[in-house]
């Protein structure tokens, strides 16, 4: 089982401390060169890291979360401006309306608050550039960075060029520095947006080499007295990207407390600087807490940390996703499966991702966003509510509702740009009677006799295609024996395929606007030859699962996406003959270590699981469930698993060490299929998304 290490969130704290070091210069009392290296070289990695993280997570939602991010960050900026208003009034930093406007839009209303207008303006600009594609976006942002570089560390060189000083004088009339949301932030935001997990050793070597080169660059520029400011270096983007990729390769999970701590620390530390200096003067400790640069830094650091910890403690908190029982969703496995299925489908058929029932319990919204980044542009769900949920999450592309929607709700189909499956001819007439321009895919009954117009009734299809208002964009059917291995099942699937393709040909010859076609679902994609259809519908296969253990084919390369884990809440020892659980159903046949696990049938596990031979993984070993499964808990015999403690993690689906329990195996214990098991995993379970 992969250990959680929220490297990105943890490094936020280090970055915030480095920013405080910039503003306190800890080593000036001892060594000017050492302080320059700490605060003007090493610490210059801090703010680019914040931009990289922001760009990375904005891109994970395909920039759909940008409006919410702008609103949240804008409110935080407003609160920070009000928080520092007393200091501004006291020091008269913002005198004149021009300085006030410039401060709000570019420079920040206090010296460290420049980050907020930079990230607000920079994220908007990065989004606009990203719409032209990665190559254009990075090229444009790189050129802007180079322009900003000339007004920063390279100003002494560039200003000596013809028109150089005049050009930057114009820029400096608008913004005091070029480290702002136009020249500085967009490049790092886009580098974060396009960042990927890479080999950690390669990233470490790249970081060390680029950081060493950037250090040489900084000291040479300092010796040449070329620096107007020292926020921007030529090698800073390379160094920052290697560092971010290194952290990303080690990142798994998240730490909200670390995020909150770093945000509060960043905002409040200048106030703490003022208060430390004022307190030192009142107490007569200026020699230790002000004149001594290291003592001053440590006092500010401890004071800021104490305030930040207090704020984190008192701010409202959400329960941890991994506190009791949870599903881990491995998006890397989902991406791998997507690319494999796209190759199986062939170059002429696109992937339509079936993410009904909350993506088979995997989380429809994060999965849809990950699939969009893999190039998937069509989705299928079961209900109107599921379709609207995706649209509310700003998921774009075709969304086909495979299940029933009352015709009276046609206006919702139009409003949310959803496509409805036509169940049969009467349903098509009812839908058309609503007078709304509804997009539809016509279902064809090729022998399953569940939904669809019977394949042999060509006249019925022609009548449907003549109905007003409906916008026909597709036609589809479903192979009901695609999972079967017998000659009869394979023959029936071939008959359905031939009937569907022949019908499509006939309808096209009649001038019917059949639109896109799709027939093969997960099993058909993996087992049958490529078909001349617009789409293939991938559902369970996307998540690396099969309906039953017998069907599972390890050689096909699909990787399980979901792992199910829970925590041990109590451990006790039973003597031989003692009983436990409801009805005292378990009897210890030997001295037994009995552990209680915090998951039960209310979380979606079949109630018969323990009685049918269910097992969990603990310390990389298989451990049997015992007694009766409860609503919220189950019992395991942990005698052979070694020392066991409360709070430890057990795995019900997934891998722990060399052992693995598949979803198909767990479902098989209870005489059901994986689809049913996944769809029952309840909302009480946390969802831990592994990027």
Query: Under 8 Å CB-to-CB from 39, ≥6 apart: which residues?
Result: 21, 22, 25, 26, 27
* Rounded Cα gap, residues 332 and 340, in angstroms: 12
Q: What is the pLDDT of residues 462-488, one digit of tens each?
A: 999 999 999 999 999 999 999 888 999
CA distance 205 to 215: 15
Its sign, for the CA torsion 28, 30, 34, 39, is: negative
Identify the CATH assignment for 562-690 out of 2.40.37.10, 3.40.50.1820, 2.40.10.10, 3.30.750.24.
2.40.37.10
> Do 351 and 341 form a contact (C-beta atoms < 8 A)?
yes
Question: What are the pLDDT digits (tens) for 368-378?
Answer: 999 998 999 99
| pLDDT of 548 strictly over 90 | no
Handedness of CA 533, 539, 542, 546 (dihedral sign): negative
- Structure confidence at residue 94 (pLDDT): 63
Contacts of 272 (CB under 8 A, 6+ apart): 300, 303, 304, 307
CA separation for the pair 227, 603 (Å, rounded): 61
- Which residues are designated catalytic? 356, 582
Average pLDDT (138-155) is 96
**pLDDT tens-digit profile of 83-134?**
999 988 877 766 677 778 888 999 998 999 999 999 999 999 999 999 999 9
Per-residue model confidence (pLDDT) at position 93:
67
At residue 2, does pLDDT exceed 60?
no
- What is the predicted pLDDT for the residue at 596? 97
**Scanning the structure block, which residue is given the tokens 């005049």?**
166
Give me the pLDDT at residue 64, please. 80
Tens digit of pLDDT for each residue in 592-641?
999 999 999 999 999 999 999 999 999 999 999 999 999 999 999 999 99
What gap in Å lies between CA 294 and CA 559, rounded to an integer? 52
Taking alpha carbons only, the member of 465, 491, 470, 467 closest to residue 479 is 491
Q: 297-343 pLDDT, tens per residue?
A: 999 999 999 999 999 888 777 777 888 999 999 999 999 999 999 99
Question: In which element (H, E) is residue 400 found?
Answer: strand 398-401
Residue in this structure with the two tokens 């042999």, named with its chain if needed = 456
What 3-state DSSP class applies to 110?
Answer: coil
- Please, is 220 exposed, middle or buried when counting C-beta atoms within 10 Å of its C-beta (0-12, 13-18, 19+)? exposed
Which of 46, 65, 173, 64 shows the shortest CA–CA distance to 115? 46
- Tell me how far apart the alpha carbons of residues 56 and 190 are, in angstroms, rounded to a whole number: 8
Strands 562-574 and 649-656: antiparallel
Contacts made by residues 584-587, CB under 8 angstroms, sequence distance 24+: 585/627, 585/628, 586/626, 586/627, 586/635
Phi-psi region of 225 (alpha: psi -120 to 50; beta: other; left: phi over 0): left
Q: What is the pLDDT of residues 243-299, one digit of tens each?
A: 999 999 888 777 888 999 999 999 999 999 999 999 999 999 999 999 999 999 999
The pLDDT score that the predictor gives to residue 3 is: 46
486 within 8 A of 498, measured Cβ to Cβ: no
Q: What residue ranges do the domains of the chain occupy? A: 1-36+256-318, 66-254, 349-544, 562-690
pLDDT at res. 470: 97
Tokens of 296: 């001053």
Q: Which helix (H) or strand (E) holds 300?
A: helix 293-314
Residue 575's H or E segment, with its range, is none
| Segment 211-235 mean pLDDT | 96
pLDDT in tens, 34-51: 999 999 999 999 999 999
CATH of domain 349-544: 3.20.20.10
């Amino acid at each position: 089982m992969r250990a959680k290490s929220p490297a990105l969130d943890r490094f936020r704290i280090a970055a915030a401390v480095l920013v405080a070091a910039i503003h306190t210069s800890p080593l000036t009392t001892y060594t000017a060169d050492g302080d320059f290296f700490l605060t003007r070289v090493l610490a210059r990695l801090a703010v680019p890291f914040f931009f990289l993280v922001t760009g990375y997570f904005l891109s994970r939602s395909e920039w759909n979360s940008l409006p919410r991010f702008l609103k949240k960050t804008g409110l935080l900026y407003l609160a920070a401006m009000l928080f520092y208003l007393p200091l501004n009034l006291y020091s008269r930093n913002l005198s004149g309306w021009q300085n006030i406007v410039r401060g709000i839009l570019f420079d920040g209303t206090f010296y460290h608050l420049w980050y907020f207008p930079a990230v607000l303006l920079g994220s908007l600009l990065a989004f606009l550039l990203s719409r032209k594609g990665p190559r254009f976006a990075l090229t444009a942002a790189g050129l802007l960075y180079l322009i900003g570089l000339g007004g920063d560390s390279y100003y002494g060189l560039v200003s000596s060029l013809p028109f150089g000083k005049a050009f930057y004088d114009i820029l400096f009339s608008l913004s005091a520095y070029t480290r702002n949301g136009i020249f500085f932030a967009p490049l790092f935001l886009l580098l974060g947006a396009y960042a990927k997990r890479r080999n950690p050793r390669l990233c470490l070597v790249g970081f060390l080499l680029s950081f060493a080169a950037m250090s040489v660059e900084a000291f040479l520029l300092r010796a040449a007295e070329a620096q107007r400011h020292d926020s921007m270096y030529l090698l800073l983007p390379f160094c920052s990207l290697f560092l971010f990729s290194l952290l990303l390769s080690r990142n798994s999970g998240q730490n909200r407390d670390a995020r909150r701590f770093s945000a509060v620390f960043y905002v409040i530390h200048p106030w703490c600087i003022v208060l430390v200096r004022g307190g030192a003067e009142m107490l007569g400790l200026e020699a230790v807490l002000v004149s001594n640069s290291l003592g001053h830094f440590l006092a500010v650091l401890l004071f800021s940390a104490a305030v930040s910890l207090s704020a984190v403690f008192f701010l409202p908190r959400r329960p941890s996703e991994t506190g009791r029982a949870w599903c881990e969703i491995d998006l890397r496995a989902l991406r791998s499966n997507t690319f494999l299925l796209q190759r199986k489908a062939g170059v002429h058929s696109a992937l339509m991702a079936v993410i009904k029932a909350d993506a088979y319990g995997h989380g429809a919204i994060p999965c849809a966003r990950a699939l969009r980044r893999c190039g998937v542009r069509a989705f299928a769900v079961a209900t109107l509510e599921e379709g609207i949920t995706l649209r509310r999450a700003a998921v774009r592309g075709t969304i086909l509702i495979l299940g029933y929607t009352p015709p009276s709700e046609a206006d919702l189909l139009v409003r949310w740009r959803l496509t409805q499956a036509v169940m049969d001819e009467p349903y098509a007439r009812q839908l058309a009677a609503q007078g709304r321009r509804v997009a539809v895919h016509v279902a064809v009954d090729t022998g399953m006799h569940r939904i669809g117009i019977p394949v042999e009734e060509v006249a019925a299809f022609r009548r449907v295609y003549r109905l007003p208002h409906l916008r026909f964009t597709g036609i589809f059917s479903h192979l009901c024996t695609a999972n079967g291995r017998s000659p009869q099942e394979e023959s029936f699937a071939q008959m359905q395929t031939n009937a569907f393709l022949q019908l499509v040909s006939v309808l096209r010859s009649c001038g019917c606007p059949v639109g896109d076609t799709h027939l093969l679902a997960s099993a058909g994609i993996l087992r049958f030859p490529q078909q001349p259809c617009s789409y293939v519908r991938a559902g369970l296969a996307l998540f690396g699962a099969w309906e039953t253990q017998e069907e599972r084919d390890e050689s096909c390369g699909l990787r399980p996406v979901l792992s199910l884990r829970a925590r041990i809440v109590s451990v006790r020892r039973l003597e031989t003959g003692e009983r436990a659980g409801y009805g005292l159903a378990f009897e210890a046949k030997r001295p037994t270590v009995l552990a209680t696990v915090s998951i039960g049938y209310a979380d979606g596990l079949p109630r018969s699981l323990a009685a049918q031979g269910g097992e969990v993984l603990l310390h990389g070993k298989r451990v049997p469930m015992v007694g009766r499964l409860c609503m919220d808990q189950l019992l395991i015999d942990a005698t052979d698993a070694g020392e066991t403690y409360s709070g430890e993690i057990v795995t019900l689906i997934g891998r722990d060490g060399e052992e693995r329990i598949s979803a198909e195996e767990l479902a098989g214990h209870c005489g059901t299929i994986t689809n049913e098991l996944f769809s029952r995993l309840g909302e009480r379970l946390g969802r831990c998304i592994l990027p």
